[in-house]
Amino acid sequence: MSNDIFFLAEFADGAPQRSALELAAGATELAAASGGNVVALAYGPGAGDGAAGLGAHGVARAIVLRDDAAPAITAGPAAVEAVRAASPLAVLAPATPNGRDLAAALVGLADLPAFGPVRAVRVVDGIVETEQATLQGSVVTTSRPVDGAPQPSVVLVLANTFTPTEAGSGTAEVSRAEASDHPFTLATIVESHPADAAVVNLEEATVIVAGGRGIGSAEGFGQLDELAAALGGAVGASRAAADAGWVPYQLQIGQTGKVVKPALYIGLGISGAIQHRVGMQTAEHVIAVNKDPDAPIGEFADLFVVGDLFQIVPKLTAEIRRRKG
Amino acid sequence: MKIVVCIKQVPATTAEKRYTDDLRLDRASAEAIINPLDEYAIEQALRLLDAGTVDEVGYLSMGPEQAGEALRRALAMGGESATLVTDPALAGADEWATAAVLAAALDKLAPDVALMGMASDDARGSLVPGAVAARRNLPLLSYGAELALADGQARIRRLSPTGFDWIAAPLPVVASVTDQVGEPRYASLKGIMAAKRKPLDTWSLADVGLSAEDLRSGALTRVTDARPPEAKPPTERIENVSADEAAAKIADWLAARKLV
């Protein structure tokens, strides 16, 4: 057993994803409290080439699970081998579909305690402690492993829980995980259909302008694009807008879409149903514009504007552009 | 070809929820429903049954005895039979223990596809499908917007960062689906009547070959504190003003918080 903190580091095209940099920062924080090292479990296309670069973010060692374009779950058995060999104190995983698949592989194959998705994780007197909003945000719980539980604790971490540190100059020592042949490795991508247009990763946005049923059409999202551009942010949507085909599902925020935690969230024509709310309730600042004075979002927004978004949004975009000069 | 859909009974989304003195969710006090995201898994299975791709759909749940009601409701939507694993030793089971029990029960039921919703409404860890696949030594196909079965293979259509992929694995598999599979059907009156006569087996922990010791009292994790979320300052409202004024006020509000 060690006091090391492992984290899952997803790569695409040889570059660490934002979740990897956030978890590198989180693992560094935890390792400072536990007195251990920070170790990355790298996977995804180009992970082998990019893993050494994690050293610039405080990572002492990187173990490359696999670095091809196969589904993330195929890296699960290698992750289990690496974790079994080192028995770290905790493994941080991004609370994304890929991160959850790998976390589940660890929990199921190595019989480990699982936490999350958490909004905070720390090491207190050598014990992992997590904080989670549960039951649609109506309860906040603190959890720990039971006495004598096997280590590591596997912790799903919500996006934006940790802030990536500025890149330094270090280099991580890179090794390759042993290949392992659990049936998880049998999943293969048999067809790939990339989108026609570029799709942003909402979890990386610090400002999100989201539209719902009230936007009314795909064209209606044009003015959201303008406002988001003026604010340096990205456009998101409710499930209703994605189901209607106005935006791709990658932009859906909520229980079955992305869980986001931007500094600023602006909800336009979104009623604020619980399923949407659980995807954005940890945003630092929430503004909503809705023509319905009784929309549920008016009960939890910081600023609630009752009015016609089609009138207000273009004027707001112009006003922000004017102030920014 | 046989599918077993795993379902969880949860407190209704809008129900008042509270924790008991021993920091467990008080499941007796809240109105209980089928986890809404599991209904999409049921719908996906029944669509494959309607199409003749599979010839049997069954259900599996782990929970207190009342969870039998959720299984009856699922049977009212369609399918043949259901199994409930219930045991006093399972109160407070976490994801690890839940996966262990479901995996053991699925080993006995031996479906070609064990199908689940992508998450549960109350906990949202989404780890159970993968942990069940791990324990059963089977491939995992997760977060499918659609499930297709052909030529000894299961395939799911899954969102990728920029579009979607079809991911395949040889049967048998454990799979999970999202709310993109299509709206769940309502149970007909005829379905509700028929469900009362469908077989619903109840298994104990021993029936699936596990003991309370195997499950370490049902959990590797414990809740040490449960409290209401931090109170937020009251909402500021802007209404009955012109669009110009509203836009200026929003911009002021943003500027005061250094967001522009």
Classify residue A284 by burial, with Cβ atoms within 10 Å: 0-12, 13-18, 19+. Answer: middle
Q: What is the distance between the alpha carbons of residues A136 and B187, in angstroms, rounded to a whole number?
A: 26
Model pLDDT, residue A200: 84
Dmax (CA) for chain B in angstroms is: 69
Report the chain B residue with the minimal C-alpha distance to residue A287.
B250
Report the chain A residue with the minimal C-alpha distance to residue B214.
A111
Q: What is the distance between the alpha carbons of residues B169 and B153, in angstroms, rounded to a whole number?
A: 6
pLDDT tens, residue by residue, B37-89: 999 999 999 999 999 999 999 999 999 999 999 999 999 999 999 999 999 99
Q: What is the distance between the alpha carbons of residues A215 and A220, in angstroms, rounded to a whole number?
A: 5
Q: What is the distance between the alpha carbons of residues A239 and A253, in angstroms, rounded to a whole number?
A: 7
Structural domain count of chain B: 1
pLDDT tens, residue by residue, A235-255: 999 999 999 999 999 999 998
Rg of chain A on CA atoms, in Å: 21
Model pLDDT, residue A134: 80
Q: Quick one: fold of A5-186?
A: Rossmann fold (3.40.50)
Write out B21-58 in H/E/C secondary structure.
CCCCECCCCCCEEECHHHHHHHHHHHHHHHCCCCCEEE
3-state secondary structure of A320: helix
Confidence label for A133 from pLDDT (cuts 50, 70 and 90): confident
Residue given tokens 């610039």 in the structure block: A56
Provide the CATH number for the domain around residue B187: 3.40.50.620
Residue B49 lies in domain? 2-218
Task: Indicate whether B199 belongs to any domain.
Answer: yes
Q: What is the distance between the alpha carbons of residues B118 and B37, in angstroms, rounded to a whole number?
A: 7
Task: Indicate whether B207 belongs to any domain.
Answer: yes
**Pairs of residues, one from chain A and one from chain B, whose beta carbons lie less than 8 Å apart:** 280
Which is more confidently placed, A199 or B200? B200
Evaluate whether ipTM surpasses 0.90: yes
- Asked whether residue A206 carries a pLDDT value surpassing 80, the answer given is yes
- Which residues, 6 or more positions from B231, have their beta carbon under 8 angstroms from its beta carbon? none
| CATH superfamily of domain region A202-324 | TPP-binding domain (3.40.50.1220)
Contact B161 A199 (CB under 8 A): yes
Angle at B97 (CA atoms; ends B93, B102), nearest 5 degrees: 110
Model pLDDT, residue B242: 97
Q: Which part of chain A has CATH 3.40.50.620? A: 5-186
Residue given tokens 């998450």 in the structure block: B119
Model pLDDT, residue B13: 67
Across chain A, mean pLDDT equals: 94
Average pLDDT over residues A57-74: 96
Interface test with B, best of A188, A196, A292, A304 (most B CBs within 10 A): A188
Nearest CA to CA, how far is A174 from chain B (Å)? Answer: 26
Closest among B221, B93, B224, B95 to A145, alpha carbons compared? B221
Task: Indicate whether B63 belongs to any domain.
Answer: yes
Task: Indicate whether B114 belongs to any domain.
Answer: yes
Task: Indicate whether B113 belongs to any domain.
Answer: yes
In the Cβ-directed half-sphere of A298, how many Cα atoms lie within 13 Å?
15
Closest among A166, A120, A164 to A141, alpha carbons compared? A120
Confidence label for B19 from pLDDT (cuts 50, 70 and 90): low
Nearest CA to CA, how far is B190 from chain A (Å)? Answer: 31
Average pLDDT over residues B200-214: 95
Q: What is the pTM of this model?
A: 0.94
Contact A117 B125 (CB under 8 A): yes
Chain A residues within 8 A of B231 when measuring between CB atoms: none
In the Cβ-directed half-sphere of A275, how many Cα atoms lie within 13 Å?
17
Task: Indicate whether B14 belongs to any domain.
Answer: yes
Average pLDDT over residues A198-208: 87
B118 touches B177 (CB < 8 A): yes
Q: What is the distance between the alpha carbons of residues A158 and A155, in angstroms, rounded to a whole number?
A: 10
Contact A142 B137 (CB under 8 A): no
Task: Indicate whether B72 belongs to any domain.
Answer: yes
Average pLDDT over residues A54-60: 94
pLDDT tens, residue by residue, A273-310: 999 998 998 899 999 999 999 999 999 999 999 999 99
Query: Phi and psi (nearest 5°) for A309?
Result: -60, -30
pLDDT tens, residue by residue, B84-97: 999 999 988 888 99
Question: Identity (one letter) of the amino acid at A281?
Answer: Q
pLDDT tens, residue by residue, B235-258: 999 999 999 999 999 999 999 999
Inter-CA distances, B102 with B56, B86, B177, Å: 19, 11, 17
Chain B residues within 8 A of A79 when measuring between CB atoms: none
- Asked whether residue B18 carries a pLDDT value surpassing 80, the answer given is no
Task: Indicate whether B181 belongs to any domain.
Answer: yes
Model pLDDT, residue A219: 97
